[in-house]
Every structure is written in C-alpha cells, then in structure tokens.
Structure 1
Amino acid sequence: MRSVQSTHPATYLFGARTLRDFGDGFVAILLPVYLLALGFAPLQVGLIATASLFGSALLTIAVGFLGARHDLRWLLLAAASLMTATGVAMSLVHDYLLLLVVAFAGTINPSAGSVSVFVPLEHAALTREVTDAERTRMFARYSLVGALASAAGALASALPDFTIVTGLGRLTAIKLMFVLYALLGIAGGLLYARIPKRIASHETAKTAALGPSRPVVLKLAALFSLDAFAGGFVVQSLLALWLFERFDLSLAQAGVFFFWAGVLSAFSFPVAAWLSRRIGLINTMVFTHIPSSIALLLAAFAPTLPLALALLLVRAALSQMDVPTRSSYVMAVVTEAERAAAASFTSVPRSLAAAASPALAGALFAASYRSLPLVICAALKITYDLLLLLQFRQLKPPEER
C-alpha cells in the first residue's frame, strides 16, 4: 500500500491554504454586508476588522514562540479547529459585543490576504522542504494557489444574491456561508493531519525564538508594520464598502470584480519569482509596489465606476508581487531554527499595525471622507518602499551572493 508520506508535504499545505483562502475570499466581502444587514454602522464594521487583525497579531506572537519548540503540525491543527469554531460562532451570534469577541479570538480575515495565524507556521514548514534556489519559486506557487482560491471565494460571495429564487432569505444565506467557512476549517485540518511529524532537535529546542538574526528581523518588522498600517486602510472588506457606498456596486458585481482582481494577483506571483531571479528580491518588491500605489491613488479620485475599477485592477496586478518575494527574503536571511519565529515576528507588527487603520478608515467613512483612506494608504506604501530599498538593498539572500 502506498504510504501517506509518499506525497510531498507541501502538497497538503498547498491544499489547506487553498481551502482557507477560498473561505477568506468570500468572508472578506460578506463581512461588511452581514454587519450592515444586522443594523451596524460603517464605524462598527471598521472596529470589527480592527478586533480581528489585533487578535490575529496576538495569536501569531504565540505561535512564534511555540513554532521553534513544538511540532508545526499540531499547531496548524489547532488553528484549523479555531477556524471551524469561528465560522460556527459567526453564523449564530448577533450581539455586537459578542461579535467583537469572536472577531478578536477567531480567524475571520477582513483582508483576504496573508494576515493570518496560519502563515508563519506554513512558511516555516514549507521552507524546510526546498533548497535556497527553489525557495522563491515555491513561495510564488504557494501564493498563486492561495490567490486563485481567494478569487474563487470572492466570486462565491455573490451566492446569497441568488438564493432569492429559492425562497431563502439573504441574511440566512450569508449565515450559511459562515457555516461553509467552518466546514472548510475541518477539511483543512484533515490535510494538516497528513503532514509528517517533525520532532525538534535538542539544539533547536534550546534555541531562543530569535537569535543571531534578531537585529535584521526587528528592522524588517518595523518596515513591514508601516506597510501593513497603510494596507489596513483598504483591507478588502473596506474596499468593498467603499465601492458599495460610492458607486452603489451590487454584491454580485463586487464578487465578479474581486474575482478578477484575485486572478490578476495570482498570476503576478510567478512573474514576481521570474523577475526576482533577474533583478533581486528587494528590487522586485519595491519596483512593482510603487506603481500599484500610484494606481490606488488615482482610483481614489476616479469620477466613474469603470475607471475606478480599471485602476484597482492595475493595482491588483502589481500590489501582491511583493508577497512571495517578501516571504522568501525573510526565510533566506535567518537561520533555520529562527524561521518560525522570524515569520511570526515579521507578521505580528504587520497585524498590530494593520489592526489600527480599519477603525480609522471606518471613522473617515462615517465622516463622509470615503476616498481619504485610499490616499493615505498609497502615500504610506510609497514611503515604505523607499525606506525598504535604502535599508536592505545591500543585504542579499544566499542565491544572490
């Protein structure tokens, strides 16, 4: 009989990410619709997003300490169980304070991106399976499958609009989508359970979460936090809210738009891997990110819906090319024992910084400054890119030396 271990462990991780990002894809769009349907204001939607991101940050801190000393498989199984519990709770809870608690303690992801407790664990597990030369391509494939799944999830967010013909109410249909999110958590857990167990060595067990790479990781974390703070102003839930309120976009139209935005992002990942082999990881991150921020800035002032959507699609095609390159760079400049901690400690400031800005964006929405969050996001991201280039252009990963 064929052994379970004959399948490459990365296959299970890719499969689990596909399921998780499919769920995040529809939840990010349905979350503001659901909260508005329950009678909450845009500011309250922003606070829910903030609670979710802040809670993710604290969970990521925990896995950063645990990842170097414990089996990654069990930590991933625990995270999948939390995803299941979150979906069930979201489908049942109507009270706003309880929803804040669920958002804080659970895995709801308003950004439909890489801000997640799963990410540092998967990064550490994947990196140990490949060589330096293959690392960026592997992260590009990992990001590709996630983005395609997220795009499909965005398309699935339109399903509640098609339940009217069946007699099922829209609010009930949205609750069923949260139940589907819970089922995806169970399916992801089954895949994580098939990852081979890896016992930490005696040397690794004694290693501090961060050792010789601490100064580099802390500097990267500071810069990444600026980027995430900027991105928090236009997390997918809030960008959807902006399109709903400024252009009266329907849920079905939003699902189609975010589907194509996700597809463009997905196919930018292999391009990023190809480009990084020619100009380097840092240059790829910076010189694709700046044009995407310019496109977002122009979209904020677009007078018509078609022009705004076109500019946002340009942004989608460029803005995520730094995702696989950033992940690869962090894993390359730290030791193997530090990888889980490095992934965690570069993700935590991102989550904490990103947690503050959705609430600020919600306040700007409430004050009728609906386009200002897009402007703030673009300006801060350009600042981040220039600082990253100045600080790290000389620190090369092994494959570029």
Structure 2
Amino acid sequence: MKLPMLSLLPPGANARARPLLLARGLRAFADGYMAVLLPAYLLAIGLGTLEVGILSTTTMVGSAVATLAVGAWGHRFGQAGLLRGAALLMAATGLCFAAAPGFWPLMLVAFVGTLNPSSGDVSVFLPLEHAQLAGAAEGPARTALFARYSLAGALLASVGALAAALPDALVRGTGIDRLSALRAMFIGYGAVGLLVFWLYRRPPGSSAAAAEAAPSPLGPSRGVVWRLAALFSVDAFAGGMVVNALMSLWLLQRFGLSLAQAGLFFFWTGLLGAASQLAAPKVAARFGLLNTMVFTHIPANLCLVLAALAPGLPLALALLFVRAALSQMDVPTRSAFVMAVVTPAERAAAASFTAVPRSLAAALSPTLAAAWLAAGWLAAPLVGCGLLKIAYDLALWRAMRRHEAGAAPRRPAT
C-alpha cells in the first residue's frame, strides 16, 4: 500500500518535483499569517492606514523587479541556485522586518525582500517554480501537478491564517508585550525561509521530454505571451485591491473583527479555495482550460461586489465564502494554459514574462485601495476589484478562444 505522502504528486509527474510542492506549502503557511498580521504590526509600531498600503505596494514592486531580473538575466544562472538564493532572502526578510525601527527601513526591506501581503504568490519564487513544474510533467499530468501546487499553497495559507491568533495567545500565556509577540512571528517567517533553503539543497528534476528542449528566449509564442501578460496584468491590478492584508484591514474597520476572527475567516476561505483548485483539473478536462478560468471567475467576482454592499456581517461573509469556493479555480488552469500554448523551450521565459506584468500591476493598486479605505470609502476596493475582474474575464475569453483547442487537456484514451 502506498503511503499518503506519495499522493502529493499526480500520476505521470517526476518524483523530484516533490520539493517544489513542499516548499510552496511552507511559504504559503508563512504568507498566510503574515498577510493578516502585517497591518496589525504596522499599526502597532505607529504607522497609519495609508502607510500600510504604501508598504504593501512596495513589497509587490520589489517582487516585480526581482521577477523581471530573473526573466532578463536568469538564464545566466542555474535555476536551482536562484531558488536557494530566494530562500535565503526570505530568511533575511523575516529577521530584518522584526528588527527594522521605522517606516523608511521597513520600506527598504519590503522592496528587496520576499514579504507577500497577498492571498496568492507574487514573489520571485513563482516563475522559477513554474518553469520547473512545467518540465516535471506533460499533458493532463501537468494540469494536475499545477493543481497540486496551487492546492498546497491554498491549504497551508489557510492554516497559516489561523496562526495569526498566536501573538494574542502568547500575550495571554506568557505575559510578553503584544509588539514582541508580533515580532516573533516575523522571526518565524525567517525560519521558514531556512527550511525552504534546505528543501532546495538539490535541484528539482525534470522530465526527459523537457530536458530535450534547451531554454530559449521568447520566439514563436511571443505574441500570445504578450497578450496574456497584458490581460493577466488587469486581473492582477484588480486583485491587488483586495490582497489579504487589505481585506484584513477592511474586516477590522468595517465589522470590528479581532485578529483571531480575521484569521479564522481566512482559514475557511483558504480551505474553500483549496477545494476548488483540487476540482479544477476535472472541470478543465470536461470544459477546457479557458472556459474553466472564465466561467468560474465571473460569478465569484459578482459575489465580491455584492459583499462590499452587504448591510451586515453574516451576508458579507456568506458572499465572500461563495467567492472563495469559485475564485481560485483559475489558478492552476491559468498556469497550465500558459505552459500549453507556448513551445517547451519557451516555457521558462513565458513563466517569467507573464509573471512580471502581474507583479507590477498588483503592486500599483494596494496604495489606491488603502487611500480609499483611509478616506472612508470602504466598499470601493471590493467593488473596483470585482468589476475590473469581470471585464478581464470577458476580454480573456474573447482573445484566447482560438487557442483553447490546442491547450485543453485531453483525457487518456480508454
């Protein structure tokens, strides 16, 4: 009988892709509690709401610059070495954030570090890991592998959100002050970076088919990659308005939730998102990657708009839970779609050049959303996010319909 651990990988995936999934889960756990605690920590050291948004934007701008550097010059270095370097940078980020004395030092650490205020992964790890994953499986197994990767992130991020209650528990149980308890969580974030470094002590493997195609710059697929990058940037800009750090701030300001309650909310939304990502390969096998991306996303974003206008907490939470059950189904299918519409040699470049505009676009909107919240326009970030994402869904479906036949995962012949 196979051990449950072996089910981490889908059939047909290279076994040495396992560190990619484990590392994604560890990073997601740390990101899960950091997204909830970041605004509380910044407010506790005397910063204001607008400064929370500025720092959130700075972290995402820094991630975008690092990802751009990987896309432009990463071919000069081994991807395994870049992954290990990113893990060490994560460790340094946690320690420096815990020790930084004020706004401007935090700005510097936020820009050069790996801190992620988002519910998704917008860090330099993303294109590196996607390129490795694309070479670790082919066909339907690749979609399933991306789903496992996204699932690991969603599940561990939801558990991490629960860990946001630890600082208050430490205050009650040990008597230490709340600020010290919050700083301890950043030290824990750095420790996770060291664990990720250990996982990447050996390079992940790739399939024989992928090994035959040496990495190359964008060539025949340049046009479709740039169109996808432009569309994905609209989606990312919209998503930046409701990154977890700002959604946590919205819940605290609109309904007066405690950190523990906010963490519990993100735990359940994370579980719902994980379940939807697990179902995504089966839905995509029946309806196609593009249709799965678009027609699960539209109702999710309608729920977000309605949640912003809900008169009370129960209805708002119900709508946000429905959104969580639908909104993440596009994550593994989007990654698999990009890998399917480019040639094998272009996959690493495509992963970077679709990630960079997303990171840049996502970096611009948190400050705008925070300014709206600071001005008392509490519904504006959620409404703006939902409407922009619906526009993106419709534009994506219209632009990419003709590529769907070649990208759709096929069921194995029986």
Short-chain TM bin: over 0.9
Residue identity in the other structure for 2:382: L
Alpha-carbon shift at residue 286 of structure 1 (Å)? 0.4
- Match for residue 230 of structure 1 among 227, 238, 245: 238
Kindly indicate whether residue 148 of structure 2 is the aligned counterpart of residue 138 of structure 1.
Answer: no
Kindly indicate whether residue 158 of structure 2 is the aligned counterpart of residue 148 of structure 1.
Answer: no
State percent identity of aligned pairs. Answer: 56
What corresponds to 1:365 in structure 2?
373
What corresponds to 1:4 in structure 2?
none
Distance 2:29 2:275 in 1: 16
What corresponds to 2:393 in structure 1?
385
What corresponds to 1:204 in structure 2?
214
Pairing 1:13-52 to 2, within 5 Å after superposition? 13-52=20-59
1:364·1:372 contact (CA, 8 Å) conserved in 2? yes
Alpha-carbon shift at residue 68 of structure 1 (Å)? 4.0
- Match for residue 97 of structure 1 among 96, 104, 108: 104
Distance 1:286 1:267 in 2: 18
Distance 1:262 1:320 in 2: 9
- Match for residue 192 of structure 2 among 178, 184, 191: 184
1:73·1:197 contact (CA, 8 Å) conserved in 2? no
What corresponds to 1:295 in structure 2?
303
Distance 2:121 2:86 in 1: 14
What corresponds to 1:3 in structure 2?
none
Distance 2:212 2:327 in 1: 41
Distance 1:81 1:338 in 2: 28
* Ranges in structure 2 where 5+ consecutive residues have no aligned partner: 1-13
- Match for residue 288 of structure 2 among 280, 288, 312: 280
SS in 1 for 2:403: coil
1:272·1:325 contact (CA, 8 Å) conserved in 2? yes
Alpha-carbon shift at residue 196 of structure 1 (Å)? 4.7
Residue identity in the other structure for 2:171: I
Residue identity in the other structure for 2:48: A
* Ranges in structure 1 where 5+ consecutive residues have no aligned partner: 1-6
Deviates more, 1:147-156 or 1:334-343: 334-343
- Match for residue 256 of structure 2 among 227, 235, 248: 248
What corresponds to 1:117 in structure 2?
124
Alpha-carbon shift at residue 94 of structure 1 (Å)? 2.3
- Match for residue 403 of structure 2 among 389, 395, 398: 395
Q: How many residues are matched?
A: 393
1:56·1:117 contact (CA, 8 Å) conserved in 2? yes
- Match for residue 65 of structure 2 among 33, 43, 58: 58
- Match for residue 239 of structure 1 among 235, 242, 247: 247
Distance 1:169 1:398 in 2: 54
SS in 2 for 1:362: helix
Q: C-alpha offsets along residues 323-379 of structure 1, whole Å, 9 cap, x if unaligned?
A: 000000011111222112111111111111111110001111111111111000000
SS in 2 for 1:158: helix
Kindly indicate whether residue 212 of structure 2 is the aligned counterpart of residue 219 of structure 1.
Answer: no
1:12·1:195 contact (CA, 8 Å) conserved in 2? no
2:171·2:181 contact (CA, 8 Å) conserved in 1? no
Residue identity in the other structure for 1:49: S
Alpha-carbon shift at residue 116 of structure 1 (Å)? 1.4
Q: TM (normalized to structure 2)?
A: 0.92
2:71·2:353 contact (CA, 8 Å) conserved in 1? yes
Q: C-alpha offsets along residues 85-143 of structure 1, whole Å, 9 cap, x if unaligned?
A: 10001100121011111111100000031211101111111111111121111111111
What corresponds to 2:343 in structure 1?
335
What corresponds to 1:315 in structure 2?
323
- Match for residue 114 of structure 2 among 82, 104, 107: 107
Distance 2:119 2:193 in 1: 15
SS in 1 for 2:115: coil
Residue identity in the other structure for 1:204: A
2:143·2:409 contact (CA, 8 Å) conserved in 1? no
Distance 2:274 2:325 in 1: 8
Q: C-alpha offsets along residues 121-170 of structure 1, whole Å, 9 cap, x if unaligned?
A: 11111111111121111111111111101001000011111112210111
Show structure 1 runs of 4+ deviating over 4 A. Answer: 200-203, 398-401
SS in 2 for 1:295: helix
